[in-house]
Structure 1
Amino acid sequence: MRRRVIDGRFELGERLGGGGMGLVWRAWDTALHRDVALKEVRPPDPAMDEHDPALARELRARVLREARALARLNHPHVVTIHHIVDEGEDAYPWLVMELVTGGSLQDRLARGPMPPSEAARLGREVLSALRAAHAVGIQHRDVKPANVLLRSDGRSVLTDFGIAAVRESSSLTATGSFIGSPEYMAPERINGHEGDPASDLWSLGMMLYVAVEGRHPLRRATTLATLAAVLNQAVPAPERAGTLGPVLLALLTRDPAARPDPATLD
């Protein structure tokens, strides 16, 4: 079967995954003879082009702007962007990225929780990636185990910054579906308050809580119940986190200003 080729160069292979902002494929770079990951950026609402073409154009521009900013980071714990395929304003861009083959943190946690020391090491790596992104004005908005990939040597890579291109105050699309993962979303973002990098730190804290405890403290049977729990219920003290426990609880405070600053957290 003939493979689809993007930009006359990248042969699409198997689909690796997908989320609110598009699909990710394994691809073969016919120019450099290497495997890469190719992200097909798509809006969360497929009808956006027809119903709100101005918003669709704005989304394309934001994706391109933030992809270029990320490409300049060259950070060891931020996924490397090799190339951007921009087919014009009538099409969404494709992001050509390094292929990380060690699976995700979600895959790792399916085998059981992490020791606190291992979680702390990973947390510092993800924090360093967030600090680099925040320094160039990019918030991630969807820090969760599925978006932390593991290289073969165990080092972590934060990926899927595409969600940061969507800045709707309610965090809802026109179809009413969530942008982001409610169980890892900071309370202030659920309430529609954007623009604070500390919101990414809540998500980091919740991810590390899940990593060491092996369970999510506020996940409920439905999305609405989970959102209500994140907004209103206290986070129970972790039982397996050891000396990491106070750090997690400091991050998981509902007042963004009360969370530790990145340098203190590190």
Structure 2
Amino acid sequence: MQNLSNLQLGEYHLAEQIGQGGMAVVYKAEHPQFGTTAFKVLPSMLIHVGELLTRFLNEADAVRILHHPHIVQSYETGAVPHPQLDEEVYFIALEYIENGSLLERMIASSLAVEDVIKMGIDIGYALEYAHSKGIIHRDIKPSNILFRNNGQAVLADFGIASTAQYIRLTKTGNVTGTIAYMAPEIMQEVPASPRSDLYSLALVLYETLTNSRPFGTDTASPQLVQKILQERIPPLQDVIPDISPTIAHVIEQALAKQPSQRQTSVGEFVSQLQHALQRRTPSQFTIPLPEPSEDLLVDQFTKPQQRKPKAKPIEVNRPNAAASSTLGIQASNDLASSPRAKFTTTLQFVLIAVVTFFLVLGIFFIFQ
């Protein structure tokens, strides 16, 4: 497809290209009413390839009915004439989120456990809302989780979402989505459900916490499919021994192979995460995380950025023996000067005086 940078398409002035996925190219664009937008375009060469146009329009339908603070907002969708070619350009104009994706953050540095769980709660809210509208995302992965400037996580890319009217785009025997994050039942030709999204979200949290993909780096291989279907994911506490057992249990339940063994809904999962977060002690917010695995860079075309050094653990300064002795003496002196101590001392002098008086009196009578 011809590069559309610096072109005027309808009311949109396209600037530079800012992203590219399996079926669309995204440009930063300016609109007189919407301001800066993410202008998502389906390349003309893909319009007649399989179901790609259907998928593209399906995303447009999905995001148009979803209005939630943790879901990328859709402004407009349609087709405009290309100014230089005899063809139409299909587009979706979306909210521009400028603070990067989860994938970029995972590559750049470790994320604090608290931040990972809060991100999971944000995306959980978005999914629970989408599910209430009958929409299943089906492609939850780090590159589809974006961040606003205020730190809130936002869910993007509903390109292969399914609805009650639109269940599957693929032919029998095929699946659509990112294999590495796909729930086991999807690979067995079971229709996607809200619990499928739950599994994918839990897997993203697991990967973000451990900085590695539990099933390896392959994105489409029989070996990877067999691992997802058969192998047990290593327990979180084996990888991060200091993580809260409650948090580990909540995430691991959502990663059960059988959907019926997971939480009943994403809403229940979010509630459990919130409860687990509130029960944690302050020391658990500074768990040292493992170094990132090369697995995270499998889809990247650039070398990983140098990781920022982790902060050193805070040590509590304890007094030495001499200082302890000095503190003890000082405490004794302070105690001696208290009102209660003065009363006790006075009482002792009175008792001694009384005893002495009776001794002297007894000696006097003896010698009489």
TM-score (structure 2 length as normaliser): 0.62
Match of 1:175 in 2: none
Give, in whole Å, the separation in 2 of the partners of 1:92 and 1:2. Answer: 13
Aligned length: 250
Give, in whole Å, the separation in 2 of the partners of 1:221 and 1:63. Answer: 26
Q: Secondary structure at the match of 2:160?
A: helix
2:72 is the counterpart of 1:79: yes
2:86 is the counterpart of 1:70: no
Tell me which of 235, 252, 255 is aligned to 2:258: 255
What is the Cα-based RMSD across aligned positions, in Å?
2.7
Give, in whole Å, the separation in 2 of the partners of 1:255 and 1:148. Answer: 25
Higher-Rg member (1/2): 2
Tell me which of 8, 16, 19 is aligned to 2:18: 16
Give, in whole Å, the separation in 1 of the partners of 2:24 and 2:46. Answer: 14
2:191 is the counterpart of 1:191: no
Shift of 1:180: 1.9
- Aligned CA distance change for structure 1 residues 98 and 3 (closer, same or farther; 3 Å): same
1:244 corresponds to which letter in structure 2? Answer: I
Shift of 1:195: 3.2
2:232 is the counterpart of 1:234: yes
Give, in whole Å, the separation in 1 of the partners of 2:5 and 2:193. Answer: 46
1:24 corresponds to which letter in structure 2? Answer: V
1:22 corresponds to which letter in structure 2? Answer: A
- Judge which range, 118-127 or 105-114, deviates more: 105-114
Q: Secondary structure at the match of 1:157?
A: strand
2:30 corresponds to which letter in structure 1? Answer: W
Give, in whole Å, the separation in 1 of the partners of 2:61 and 2:46. Answer: 26
Residue by residue over 1:192-217, the C-alpha shift from the partner in whole angstroms, topping out at 9 and shown as x without a partner, is 22231211111001000011111111
- Aligned CA distance change for structure 1 residues 113 and 171 (closer, same or farther; 3 Å): farther
- Aligned CA distance change for structure 1 residues 171 and 116 (closer, same or farther; 3 Å): farther
Give, in whole Å, the separation in 2 of the partners of 1:143 and 1:222. Answer: 14
Give, in whole Å, the separation in 2 of the partners of 1:250 and 1:122. Answer: 18
Give, in whole Å, the separation in 1 of the partners of 2:172 and 2:212. Answer: 27
Tell me which of 203, 206, 215 is aligned to 1:206: 203
- Aligned CA distance change for structure 1 residues 9 and 198 (closer, same or farther; 3 Å): same
Q: Percent identity?
A: 29
Give, in whole Å, the separation in 2 of the partners of 1:158 and 1:19. Answer: 15
Give, in whole Å, the separation in 1 of the partners of 2:58 and 2:179. Answer: 26
Report if aligned partners of 1:42, 1:92 keep a CA contact under 8 Å in 2: yes
Report if aligned partners of 2:145, 2:154 keep a CA contact under 8 Å in 1: yes
5+ long unaligned stretches in structure 2: 82-86, 163-167, 271-368
5+ long unaligned stretches in structure 1: 173-177
Match of 1:104 in 2: 101
Match of 1:49 in 2: 48
Give, in whole Å, the separation in 2 of the partners of 1:129 and 1:152. Answer: 18
Match of 1:4 in 2: 7
2:125 is the counterpart of 1:125: no
- Aligned CA distance change for structure 1 residues 219 and 91 (closer, same or farther; 3 Å): farther
Show structure 1 runs of 4+ deviating over 6 A. Answer: none
- Aligned CA distance change for structure 1 residues 24 and 206 (closer, same or farther; 3 Å): same
Give, in whole Å, the separation in 2 of the partners of 1:9 and 1:98. Answer: 16
Tell me which of 148, 152, 157 is aligned to 1:155: 152
- Aligned CA distance change for structure 1 residues 145 and 170 (closer, same or farther; 3 Å): farther
Shift of 1:91: 5.3
Q: Secondary structure at the match of 1:236?
A: coil
Match of 2:142 in 1: 145
- Aligned CA distance change for structure 1 residues 217 and 71 (closer, same or farther; 3 Å): same
- Aligned CA distance change for structure 1 residues 69 and 222 (closer, same or farther; 3 Å): closer
